[in-house]
Amino acid sequence: MQSDLTKLTLSNGLLVLLKEIHTAPIVSQWIWYRVGSRDEATGKTGVSHWIEHMLFKGTPDFPASVLDRAISRDGGFWNAMTYMDWTTFFETMPSDKIDLALRLESDRMVNSLFPADEVEAERNVIISERQGYENEPLFRLSEEIQAAAFRVHTYHHEVIGDLADLRTMKRDDLIDHYRQHYIPNNAVLAVAGHFDSQTMLARIRELYESIPARPEPQRLNRPEPEQVGERRVFVHGPGETVYLQIAHRAPASNHPDFLALTVLDSLLTGPSNLNIFGSGISNKTSRLYRALVDRELAISIQGGLQATIDPYLHAITCIVHPQRQPEEVLKTIEDELAKLQDNPPLQEEVDRAVKQARALFAYGSESITNQAFWLGFSEMFADYSWFENCLDNLAKVTPQDIQRVAQTYMKPQSRITGIYLPEGSREEGS
């Protein structure tokens, strides 16, 4: 995946990455801010996501009433996302229209409006969004597991925030957070597509370099203590389906073991996609699909490994078969993990898992929007060389690596086990 890449830092600290791709007359621009739920103290949870909403309320030069129409009229699309470690905004436009997106993002870095009535309107929108999530069994279960896993680190809370904070935060809290974090020296601008790099860089300098750097945001440095025993949570709620989710401690994305764990995930549950725009691949050849779904212990099985700055979790999620008990499913998962810990998998099995993981990674890197995504996303937890070398490094994973990371990270004492029980269906531990 080697490419001609322009990468430099402006005098105000803004990191710029440009990648020319002349396959279609399209340009995708992403502006990434190093701020997410990881940067939120108790009482302010959800503030980063709320600010993401507010940046669509416009600036004096780009009123909210014209923004969406302007992007659509020029044949583009745009969106934004907030995560644990970052917030990002993007526009994909015809190449001769990209200047609108460039002007928009440089403007709302410093001139976004926070009208009091709009702040209150978005409070109601986000509270409703949060309450909608609470109707989903997997959200409720995952939130309890996340809270049990992180008692000190700020990965403790969901990105959307806690309802108590959403109800009590003030407009000034949002503005203060915006001014502290939406600064050039806390941002990465990634642009990919059909353009000339020197011309694009000159325009970026014209729009951004006059924005002054500000003091680096102070980070909440609260490492999670080592977990010394399994933690279990039970969630009761509406519905008819029993869910089982188990999470093990996983290393940060730039750790040498992360890609070996990625292949382990592919072998166990089928490959996970780190790219939010990527498509899926069948997991019917994975060990846990054959052990659980084929044997009618579970209706479905999936894994998940997140790319994060600090150590996070690897999750395995099952829909339990109506005629089975969650403890049966858990025991089968434990048995499969023990097999990997006791004996390395066959080389041919690792080759298949690597092939699937590499294919999913490649499929999620094809379009111009995806290429621009990876330019900035990889800088959130490592740097762009992580992306460029990923396929080669996946291919280097050996059966012995798989056994070692299974032994290191899949220990029962570092596990959080969660069971969602429909109200009135089964008793805990039954």
**Of 157, 175, 208, the domain-final residue:** 208
pLDDT band for position 428 (50/70/90)?
very low
Question: Residue 237 domain-assigned?
Answer: yes
Question: Residue 214 domain-assigned?
Answer: no
- From first CA to last CA, the distance across the chain in angstroms is 50
Of 55, 114, 112, 118, whose CA–CA distance to 82 is shortest?
Answer: 55
pLDDT band for position 181 (50/70/90)?
very high
On whether both 284 and 400 belong to a single domain, the answer is yes
> Alpha-carbon distance 108 to 215, whole Å?
19
On whether both 9 and 76 belong to a single domain, the answer is yes
Question: Residue 280 domain-assigned?
Answer: yes
Q: Does the structure show a pLDDT above 50 at 426?
A: no
pLDDT band for position 1 (50/70/90)?
very low
pLDDT band for position 281 (50/70/90)?
low
Q: Does the structure show a pLDDT above 70 at 167?
A: yes
Question: Residue 217 domain-assigned?
Answer: no
Q: How many CB atoms lie within 10 A of CB 430?
A: 10
Region 337-362 average pLDDT: 91
On whether both 169 and 250 belong to a single domain, the answer is no
**Of 158, 177, 208, the domain-final residue:** 208
Q: Does the structure show a pLDDT above 80 at 265?
A: yes
On whether both 334 and 379 belong to a single domain, the answer is yes
Question: Residue 377 domain-assigned?
Answer: yes
Region 171-191 average pLDDT: 98
Q: pLDDT at position 279, please?
A: 53
On whether both 11 and 60 belong to a single domain, the answer is yes
Q: How far is CA 266 from CA 13, 163, 424, in A?
A: 38, 35, 35
The total number of structural domains in the chain stands at 2
Which of the pair, 161 or 74, is modelled with greater confidence? 161
Question: Residue 219 domain-assigned?
Answer: no
Of 237, 227, 253, whose CA–CA distance to 153 is shortest?
Answer: 227
Region 356-384 average pLDDT: 88
Region 158-168 average pLDDT: 98
Q: pLDDT at position 67, please?
A: 81
Q: Does the structure show a pLDDT above 50 at 430?
A: no
Q: Does the structure show a pLDDT above 50 at 429?
A: no
Q: pLDDT at position 100, please?
A: 95
Beta bridge partners of 415: 248
Region 399-404 average pLDDT: 98
Question: Residue 249 domain-assigned?
Answer: yes
Quote the percentage of the chain above a pLDDT of 90: 85
Q: pLDDT at position 280, please?
A: 59
On whether both 249 and 307 belong to a single domain, the answer is yes
Q: What is the dihedral of CA 420, 425, 428, 430, to 10 degrees?
A: -120
Region 120-148 average pLDDT: 97
CATH number of the domain within which 42 lies: 3.30.830.10
Taken in order 253, 256, 259, 260, the sign of the CA dihedral is negative
Which of the pair, 300 or 364, is modelled with greater confidence? 300
**Of 177, 208, 239, the domain-final residue:** 208
On whether both 172 and 235 belong to a single domain, the answer is no
Of 122, 138, 143, whose CA–CA distance to 47 is shortest?
Answer: 122
pLDDT digits (tens, 9 = 90+) for 45-102: 999 999 999 999 999 999 987 888 889 888 999 999 999 999 999 999 999 999 999 9
On whether both 130 and 268 belong to a single domain, the answer is no
What pTM was computed for the model?
Answer: 0.94
Taken in order 277, 139, 46, 218, the sign of the CA dihedral is negative
On whether both 243 and 123 belong to a single domain, the answer is no
Q: Does the structure show a pLDDT above 80 at 274?
A: no
Rg of the chain over all Cα atoms, to the nearest angstrom: 23
Per-chain mean pLDDT for the chain: 93
On whether both 237 and 199 belong to a single domain, the answer is no
Q: Which residue range is the domain that position 292 belongs to? A: 231-422
pLDDT digits (tens, 9 = 90+) for 216-231: 999 988 999 999 999 9
> Alpha-carbon distance 397 to 262, whole Å?
10
pLDDT digits (tens, 9 = 90+) for 386-395: 999 988 999 9
| Secondary structure of the chain as H, E, C letters | CCCCEEEEECCCCCEEEEEECCCCCEEEEEEEECCCHHHCCCCCCCHHHHHHHHCCCECCCCEHHHHHHHHHHCCCEEEEEECCCCEEEEEEEEHHHHHHHHHHHHHHCCCCCCCHHHHHHHHHHHHHHHHHHCCCHHHHHHHHHHHHHCCCCHHHCCCCCCHHHHHHCCHHHHHHHHHHHCCHHHEEEEEEECCCHHHHHHHHHHHHCCCCCCCCCCCCCCCCCCCCCCEEEEEEECCCCCEEEEEEEECCCCCCCHHHHHHHHHHHHCCCCCCCCCCCCCCCCCHHHHHHHCCCCEEEEEEEECCCCCCEEEEEEEEECCCCCHHHHHHHHHHHHHHHHHCCCCHHHHHHHHHHHHHHHHHCCCCHHHHHHHHHHHHHHCCHHHHHCHHHHHHCCCHHHHHHHHHHHCCHHHEEEEEEEECCCCCCCC
Determine the Cα angle at 381 with ends 375 and 385, to 5°. 50
On whether both 167 and 257 belong to a single domain, the answer is no
Q: Does the structure show a pLDDT above 50 at 269?
A: yes
On whether both 244 and 387 belong to a single domain, the answer is yes
Question: Residue 224 domain-assigned?
Answer: no
